[in-house]
A and B are shown apart, each in its own frame.
Chain A
Amino acid sequence: MPKLSIDGVEYQVAEGRTVLQAIDDLGLLMNGVDIPHYCWHPKLSIDGSCRLCQVEIEGMPKLQIACNTPVTDGMKVHTQTPRVEKARRGVMELLLINHPLDCPICDQAGECKLQDYAFDYGVAGARTREPRRPAKKSVDLGPTIVFDQERCILCRRCVRFCREVPKTGELGVFNRGDESLLETFPGSELDNPYSMNVADICPVGALTTRDFRFKIRVWFTDDVDSVCNQCARGCNISVSRSNNKIYRYVPRRNDAVNDTWMCDHGRMSYKLNAQGRLTHARAEGNQTTVVEAARRAGHLLRIARNAGGKIVGVASPFAANEDLEALRDLLSGLGAGAARFSVPRGESDEILIEAEKAPNANGCRALGMAESSDSLGRAEVALVLGHTLHASAFTDVEHVVLIDSHESALSARADVVLPARTFLEKGGTFTNADKLVQRFNPVVEPPFEALSEREALAEIAKTALLERA
């Protein structure tokens, strides 16, 4: 293991890493060791072109770019010397001579690396009086991304992303010198299942998503750590919220799960949270309170148990592990067998997207639940979470008690319905495709009365288990 000294502090680092990679591995990059950078990205190939990450290395006469200089044993790196500072000021000044400086109308403002680094490493005044390079504003690169050519600093992260991650390669830098422009190749548009990641990795306001742009200033939002629930991968996300409203998902780095990416479908799924919600409790077709509906449900279960009728449990792979445990416990208290579950399936790829279109099928399996989408057969009461099992499977079931967040064919048919919180409205854990248990946090409050499944089940249990208590 080579020893690397950074500003006088010695570290052990892995073999075969460059200076910037080694600092990133140590978790120190821009978090104790400040080496500003634009073109380097931990999950993309090294480009070495922005020249902002130059550092002084003892024994080397010229400044070296930290991103592409291999660490050798005993290397001594200095990141804050007058020479380094001059080089950074130079790069920052040059990046800004053709930049439109339209921060007041730029959607990136507040999370812009050009703003941040200009503030930290640049100079306040402009020395150029020359006209700035004219370029196109608001170019549609494809269905998801809008491009501002004037703001682009040509770091080419997006170009490398499209070539290396989805391997679709729609983007290129055309022309030469200060006429260089990012564009899509003639006759193609930026359209792939991961296209919106280019907006995340764009350090400036050049690439923005059509969905989020101009919706809200980012300083009015705060971010909550969560996990995407659209497939078994469980991409780590930050959810931006403001005034109890969700504005976007952005992927959060987790090298064991999703690197720094997420798919466009997952990213846009924040909208599903608000659509078609179950907003009120119902019992026998009549709107009622959550407590009353839970009492009715408990009543049905208690009667069935006392009469020796069959009780079946149906779990949901969208439910949290904590909710699944509550279901298991109630079913066992009622003397019923283990719940079953079914998983929606679809396309998968080699990148992130898994065939199982739910976040927690492995959580169900871990609790001994069996997967089946067959008909439930004859039963007195079915206690159901979610609606992944088709309503037709309930044909021979006498009474259906449903705890769900969204309306469905099943909710129309159920005898008792309790509105549930979505995963964005509660905390909990999902177990992903690789059996990693990942935590998500409450982001917003539902605008109506709703309980998490575990709370609803506890409420039902009060009546269902009454005689045994």
Chain B
Amino acid sequence: MASEPYVKNYLSEHYGDDAYQTLEGYEARGGFAGLKKALALSPEEVTEQVKASGLRGRGGAGFATGLKWSFMPKQSDRMKLLVVNGDESEPGSFKDRMIMERGPFQILEGILIGAWATGAKRSYVYVRGEYKQPIRVLEAAVEALRAKKYLGKACFGKKGFEHDIVVHSGAGAYICGEETGLLESLEGKKGQPRKKPPFPAQYGAFGLPSTVNNVETFAHVPFILERGVEWFKSRGTEKSPGTTLFGVSGHVERPGLFELPMGTPLREVLGLAGGVRGGRRLKGVMPGGLSMPILPPSELDVPMAEEFLAPKGSHIGTGGVMVMDETTCMVRVACVTAYFFRDESCGQCTQCREGTGWIHKLCEKIEQGRGTEADLALLDDVPSFMEGQTICAFADAAAWPIQGLLRHFRSDFEAHIRERKCPFPESFEL
């Protein structure tokens, strides 16, 4: 992967610049202007600005950030926490890694603004265990803030603004990217999502009121404060303002990151990535990471924002665009997808624990040419009693891609059953 996005915008403007990773370099390039503006406002005013900006969480669910902050109890005798989700475990997603490595102070500035707005005294940055370099960079950045007394009893010299930041390494589980699974893992327990209620704003990490936001979400916040709500809303779409880092992977000429306004047509994103490799024809695109349903080539003009993708039966997710060319066997895609979700299910809820395994067995059977029409009918049915019925959205994430593949590429499945073998010899190996 390149060390900076191919297409830059405000977020990644300085991502090629090594000095931007240092505190001095960050400040010299206008860093902390947003925080300083925020500290001149009351916490409520900051929350109001973030609300008014329409910023939506960049972790996959797209929840309104300002609204989430407002759930934190105003008066509380318990310490409040911010939890920063840098677990980035969604296959096809690699934007957070870039932000953590190249823009660590953007995240930290966003955290401090969030801390001022919510009254949180401590934040935990939970970083995916495999992300050794991002952890090193973030730890160094936190240390630099501490050394300059930007953290502690009076952050940035502001009396009564106490905050400290802890960087925490995950241990390698997809489900620890789910906000309450992350909280359990942060507490040192097995990563299993919590039932809700209670919600994290009442009972979060260590039982304290907590707000969990994705690292990219925090990275956008300083720009909103510095440049204003109207400036932010002038980018992206009405319902999904701002830019995001689209991570394009798979069968394209130039895989990598592209910072583009929300709502950029999928066709344009693919074009920037150099189009399908070797001049082959496109077969399908997963627009938002592995858990979001696949789109056929006929949907390429869809603007990449939740409000346009949802009517097409998919979602923006994490903006991890996975491109598959005509050689791809969609049953194999179903196999690897099903295997991933089977392996990563935490195993609490019946539908998810048993359903993911069953789906994988069915996909494998069809791919190996042992499948029947009855198996295909089961593959239609099993995901339907998984989605929407479990503690967290994992079962949905496991069901949706299978449903998407069946919706648009049913003929691939039928061909396997008819020919009793995989008819795509050139497809990727399982």
Contacts and interface: CB of A to CB of B under 8 A. Distances in A.
> Which 8 A-B residue pairs are closest in the complex by CB-CB distance?
A90-B385, A180-B347, A48-B195, A178-B357, A177-B345, A94-B354, A49-B348, A130-B361
Contacts of A225: none
A95 B356 CA distance: 12
19 contacts: A46-B195, A47-B195, A50-B349, A51-B350, A51-B389, A52-B350, A62-B389, A70-B197, A90-B386, A90-B389, A94-B350, A97-B357, A97-B358, A98-B357, A128-B358, A154-B347, A154-B348, A177-B345, A178-B356
Interface string A194-235: 000000000000000000000000000000000000000000
Given A62-B388, A90-B385, A51 B351 contact: yes
Interface string B313-353: 00000000000000000000000000000111111111111
Instruction: Kindly name the residue among A48, A63, A177 whose own CB sees the greatest number of chain B CB atoms within 10 A.
Output: A177
A98 B374 CA distance: 19
Given A49-B391, A70-B197, A98 B354 contact: yes
Instruction: Kindly name the residue among B197, B352, B388, B389 whose own CB sees the greatest number of chain A CB atoms within 10 A.
Output: B389
A282 B190 CA distance: 66
A177 B343 contact: yes
B288 interface: no
Interface residues of A, number: 36
Contacts of B345: 176-178
A48 to B, nearest CB: 4
B79 interface: no
Interface string A86-122: 1101110111011000000000000000000000000
A2 to B, nearest CB: 16
A175 interface: yes
A63 B388 contact: yes
A266 to B, nearest CB: 33
Interface in B281-337: none
B355 interface: yes
Contacts of A154: 347-348, 350, 353
A167 B347 CA distance: 24
Contact of B351 (A91, A98, A175, A176): A91
A95 B358 CA distance: 11
Given A47-B195, A97-B357, A177-B352, 5 more contacts: A51-B389, A70-B197, A128-B358, A176-B343, A177-B343
A172 to B, nearest CB: 8
B354 A95 contact: yes
Interface residues of B, number: 31
Instruction: Kindly name the residue among A52, A130, A175 whose own CB sees the greatest number of chain B CB atoms within 10 A.
Output: A130
A197 B397 CA distance: 37
Nearest to A52: B350
Interface of B: 173, 195, 197, 342-358, 361-362, 365, 374, 378, 385-386, 388-391
Contact of A177 (B357, B361, B386): B357
B425 to A, nearest CB: 27
Contact of B390 (A51, A130, A177): A51
Contact of A178 (B347, B388, B391): B347
Interface of A: 46-52, 54, 62-63, 65, 68, 70, 86-87, 89-91, 93-95, 97-98, 127-128, 130, 133, 153-154, 173, 175-180
B105 to A, nearest CB: 36
A95 B347 contact: no
A252 to B, nearest CB: 29
Contacts of A89: 385
Contact of B385 (A68, A86, A133): A86
Instruction: Kindly name the residue among A62, A70, A90, A176 whose own CB sees the greatest number of chain B CB atoms within 10 A.
Output: A176
A153 B190 CA distance: 19
A60 to B, nearest CB: 11
A128 B362 CA distance: 9
Contacts of A52: 350
Contacts of A49: 195, 348-350, 391
Question: Interface majority SS on B: helix, strand, loop or mixed?
Answer: helix
A339 B191 CA distance: 63
Question: Interface majority SS on A: helix, strand, loop or mixed?
Answer: loop
Contacts of B197: 68, 70
B388 A177 contact: no
A432 B344 CA distance: 51
B358 A130 contact: yes
Contacts of A87: 385, 389
Contact of B389 (A63, A68, A178): A63
Nearest to B388: A62
Contacts of A65: 195
Contacts of B390: 51
Contacts of A128: 358, 378
Nearest to B341: A177
Given A49-B350, A50-B350, A178-B347, A94 B389 contact: no
A130 B197 CA distance: 36
A130 B348 CA distance: 22
A177 B389 contact: no
A180 to B, nearest CB: 4
Contacts of A127: 374, 378
A177 B385 contact: no
B98 to A, nearest CB: 29
Instruction: Kindly name the residue among A50, A89, A94 whose own CB sees the greatest number of chain B CB atoms within 10 A.
Output: A94
Instruction: Kindly name the residue among B173, B195, B356 whose own CB sees the greatest number of chain A CB atoms within 10 A.
Output: B195
Nearest to A174: B190
Contacts of B357: 97-98, 133, 177-178
A359 B342 CA distance: 53
A175 B173 CA distance: 12
Contacts of B374: 127
Given A87-B385, A128-B358, A177-B345, A48 B391 contact: yes
A20 to B, nearest CB: 13
A341 B378 CA distance: 71
Contact of B347 (A46, A54, A177): A177
Contacts of B388: 62-63
Contact of A54 (B173, B355, B389): B389
A177 B195 contact: no
B350 A180 contact: no
Contacts of B365: 130
Nearest to B195: A48
Instruction: Kindly name the residue among B354, B378, B390 whose own CB sees the greatest number of chain A CB atoms within 10 A.
Output: B354
Nearest to A89: B385
A180 B353 contact: yes
Contacts of A93: 385
A87 B355 CA distance: 13
B353 A178 contact: yes
